[in-house]
Amino acid sequence: MPNFAQAYDAPCSLCHVQVPALNAYGRYIQRTGYAPLDSHVLARELPIWIDYPIGYSEQTPGMASWDARSVGLHLDGSIGSDVTFHVQQWLWQGGQAGGLDTMWFAYNHLFNGAGHIFVGKLELPAPSEFSQWFDVTGFSIGADAEAVVGEHAYELDANRWGYKFVYDRGNLDAEIAYVTSSADLNGFNDYDWQQDKTLQYKVAFANPNNPLEIGWYGARGSWPLTEGGFDQYHTNGFYVQRDPVKGFPGFITSYQMNFDSNPGMGAPATASNGGGIEFYDNVGPRALVSVGEQFLNDGMGTRQHLGNIDVSYHLWRFITIYGEEAMANGQKPTWNGLMWFALPLGPQWPNLSQ
């Protein structure tokens, strides 16, 4: 959050391995809804910033495409000392009218500050990397968090409307959420039978001062099928992550097991699994290199293997560039790129020195 960095006069590396991927302290700030930050310090800056990504993709050799037609507006910060919030509205998205990406409010003064209640369109209880990662195509694509089994698309990394409770104290991070639609503002009260209703949860050993994080996450939901009926599904996954510190590279690995009682398309009940591993390390103070492998077995005869090599560079205080070679079984490698501007609009916004 660039306005937070400006308010604290802090480098992005305080919370990030490489923007947007978070280190142990950044994950702590994320899961507690920014509650550890001092509301008086945050008040030094306006709670507003602009998100401007410029994307590049060469899905077919010799056929490159650019996308500079998306602009997002963020509002984030605190209301007094007990309530925090984050709203992200895409003003344009791919050259069209944008959607509401995020809109949550959190009350943070339960159990002597260890309990946090979130309401709105919020991040789900899952490894932070499912939603915040430095690979151009994301850690979860084609593997576990976005696995597709028949008609059912797992949405373990989506922002969805609902409620979440987080208890974070010492080494314990315990989270549970009940969520439904991932639609725009019109989805905030959409709890009818046509929505996937999901109970999602996570328990982890996680400490803001420890680079190692180990956790278990899962979900239980009901997916409406196009021809009528429902797919009652459940999933459980495990992950281990370590930040690159003290001369050792970092890594993130996860393994997930899914069960779909009725995946649709005339298929019987199906068990599936997926996972991945990625190693990453800093190269100097601004660059980061990562190498990853992911797999998915959807239980219906489809097996995917994906690989990636990513390089990113923190060009300037609020500008980062990314490049990627993505590989999949049976396909030629593709090339992807991104330049991301995250610009605060407060009174100190020209301060680009760090």
Strand partners, 122: 160
Q: What is the mean pLDDT of residues 296-323?
A: 92
How far apart are alpha carbons 217 and 276 in whole angstroms?
15
* pLDDT beyond 90 at 331: no
Domains and their CATH numbers in the chain: 2-344 (2.40.160.10)
The percentage of residues in the chain with a pLDDT greater than 70, rounded to a whole number, is 95
The pair of structure tokens assigned to 10 is 């802090």
CB 137 within 8 A of CB 336: yes
How far apart are alpha carbons 185 and 142 in whole angstroms?
28
The pair of structure tokens assigned to 251 is 């890594």
Indicate the DSSP class of residue 69. Answer: -
Does the N-terminal peptide bond of residue 285 adopt cis geometry, omega within 30 degrees of 0?
no
Consecutive H or E run containing 31: helix 24-31
Instruction: Write the CB contacts of 40 (distance below 8 Å, at least 6 apart in sequence).
Output: none
- Note the pLDDT of residue 334: 87
**DSSP-assigned states of every residue in 214-281:** EEEEEEEEEEEPTTSSEEEEEEEEEEEEE---TT--EEEEEEEEEEES--STT---EEEEEEEEEEEE
CA 283 to chain centre: 24
- Note the pLDDT of residue 158: 87
**DSSP-assigned states of every residue in 36-47:** TS-HHHHTTS-S
Instruction: Write the CB contacts of 304 (distance below 8 Å, at least 6 apart in sequence).
Output: 142, 294, 295, 296, 328, 329
Phi, psi of 68, deg, nearest 5: -120, 35
Q: What is the mean pLDDT of residues 191-201?
A: 87
- Note the pLDDT of residue 351: 53
- Other C-beta atoms lying within 10 Å of the C-beta of residue 129: 23
- Note the pLDDT of residue 195: 85
Strand partners, 259: 234, 271
* pLDDT beyond 70 at 60: no
Greater confidence, 63 or 151? 151
Longest dimension (CA), the chain: 60
- Note the pLDDT of residue 58: 83
> Nearest CA to 134 among 309, 264, 258, 317?
309
Sign, CA dihedral 162-117-4-135, equals negative
How far apart are alpha carbons 309 and 134 in whole angstroms?
11
Rounded to 5°, angle at Cα 184 from 86 and 156: 75
Instruction: Note the pLDDT tens digit of each residue in 61-72.
Output: 667 788 898 999
How far apart are alpha carbons 162 and 198 in whole angstroms?
9
How far apart are alpha carbons 4 and 231 in whole angstroms?
42
Convert 280-314 into a string of H (helix), E (strand) and C (coil): EEEECCCEEEEEEEEEEECCCCCEEEEEEEEEEEE
> Nearest CA to 124 among 49, 223, 215, 201?
201
Mean pLDDT of the chain: 91
- Note the pLDDT of residue 62: 64
Greater confidence, 61 or 208? 208
pLDDT band at 95 (very low <50, low <70, confident <90, very high): confident
- Note the pLDDT of residue 3: 93
The pair of structure tokens assigned to 104 is 């949550």
The percentage of residues in the chain with a pLDDT greater than 90, rounded to a whole number, is 70
Instruction: Note the pLDDT tens digit of each residue in 118-140.
Output: 999 999 999 999 889 999 987 65
> Nearest CA to 317 among 11, 7, 4, 3?
11
Q: What is the mean pLDDT of residues 245-258?
A: 93
How far apart are alpha carbons 27 and 12 in whole angstroms?
13
- Note the pLDDT of residue 200: 97
How far apart are alpha carbons 214 and 146 in whole angstroms?
21
Predicted structure pTM score: 0.92
Q: What is the mean pLDDT of residues 25-37?
A: 97
pLDDT band at 265 (very low <50, low <70, confident <90, very high): confident
- Note the pLDDT of residue 328: 84
